[in-house]
Amino acid sequence: MRISIYGSTLEAYVTAVCLALTENSVTLFSNSFPAEDDELPFIKSEPSLTNKLSEAIKENTLKVRETSAFINANIHWLFYKGKNFDELLYVIKELLSDQEAVSVVISTTLGVGTYNRLYNHFENEVKNGFLKLATLPSFIREGRALDDFANPELLLIGTEDNQLISTLSYLLSPVIQKAQKVMFISGAEAELIKTSICSMLATRLSLINELALLSEELHIDMDKVIEGVSSDSRIGKSYLDLGCGFGGLTLPQEVNNLLEQFSNKSTASIMLKAVVEANQTQKELLFRKLWHYYQGNLSALKVAIWGASFKPNSSSIANSPIHELVEALTAQDCNISIYDPAAMPALEFKYTSYANVQLCDDKYAAVQESDALFIVTAWDEFLAPDFNQLKTLMKIPVIFDGRNIYEPREMETLGFEYFAVGRGKTINL
């Protein structure tokens, strides 16, 4: 089949590569929508994506174009992660003006109501058969994106058009065979399912972090609590990782989308507002601990930060806690040195004008003469550093671990003061 894909996101590239390697002719228009500032480096950091991309191009089943010229295709698949509905609307209008009839699939984070807004806007074209419309929410995760596409836990195909259902079933037949569950539903239902999943995951993360704050006050190791809680089959282990706040594009945007939906209804969501507020507070946790540790005397201190991406195996700093930390430390006249193995291009773009921010190409260079070390991202290379070298390089051997990657007793034995989330030494905030 001939497939045109529009977008510069990870999802767009992965979908283009996977479809091109299953005997389809795919054209990827990578500049169809504006990219986030830190979005494109994923091509290098995503396992196997570069090789698969080269393979598909070499086999001539995939063409990557920077222009937005529209071509005849069986499916036009739009990937959009922005916030402007009109940008999505514009591309569909262009498709309709260039061809007699088109089948359009949308994968977007615009959230609940997007499908119905598009359907209502193009109602005449839909009823007259000029536009066939579907939505396929993406559940692709950075670091394992190719596997998520090829072997999904859940595949949602949202459309009421039987012909389009048939076309997508044929196109995605290799995926459908491996998916744990496939649902053919309306576009509106698909959007609400995706948003509900993201909101529930965000709620789990915020709640477990709040419980961790209580565990610190009670001098209880939160890891033991999580071990017990997760043994209940009704709860399980997923998304119970303690940390200094969740980030990325998907979870925050989906939660905000759902909040907007509630704001337009007679009932407001008290819980989702609390989730957003709790996550924002959590992003400030490491700074608050530093503040109390130094009793508010932070001016001219040097703070090292290991990790900036919102999660390991990602180059994206979208909604990462790094931003709250940099702003808070800057306001206190602190000097900041940051190291991240993948997010340096994004950091350079964001913080190149900050005179107090130094970007380092080595984790040990970042901690030289530092008064504290923050750990923001649980990259593998941070798990077992040379602690003797680390202690020698630091001016004050104190670590504020936002991802709980070390054992508190071991760190104490090594001569570090160690403050984590729900573990380690306790500071009354």
Mean pLDDT, consecutive 10-residue stretches, the chain (429 aa), reads 91 94 92 57 71 91 80 90 86 84 92 92 92 95 89 96 96 96 96 94 94 92 94 94 91 86 71 91 96 96 97 90 97 97 93 96 96 97 96 97 96 96 87
Task: Please report the pLDDT score of residue 45 as a whole number.
Answer: 65
- Tokens for 13, please give them: 């590239």
Question: What pLDDT is attached to residue 101?
Answer: 86
Smallest Cα–Cα separation from 168: which of 180, 160, 153, 157? 157
Residue extent(s) of CATH 3.40.50.720 domains in the chain: 2-185, 210-419
**Separation CA 260–CA 254 (nearest Å):** 10
Dig out the tokens for 192 from the structure. 């609400």
Q: How far is CA 376 from CA 26, 340, 346, 408, in A?
A: 38, 10, 16, 17
CB atoms < 10 A from the CB of 163, how many?
11
| This model's pTM is above 0.95 | no
Helices (H), 284-386: 285-293, 322-331, 344-351, 363-366
Q: What is the pLDDT of residue 313?
A: 86
| Domain range 2-185, CATH class | alpha beta
Q: Within 10 Å of residue 34's Cβ, how many Cβ atoms?
A: 13
Termini Cα distance of the chain? 59
For 11, 81, 146, 254, 314, the CA distances from 106, given in Å and listed in that order, are 12, 11, 19, 16, 24
Residues 6 or more apart whose Cβ sits within 8 Å of residue 168 = 75, 105, 134, 136, 157, 159
User: Does domain 210-419 sit in CATH 3.30.750.24?
Assistant: no
Q: Output the pLDDT for position 9.
A: 87
β pairing state of 417-419 and 102-108: unpaired
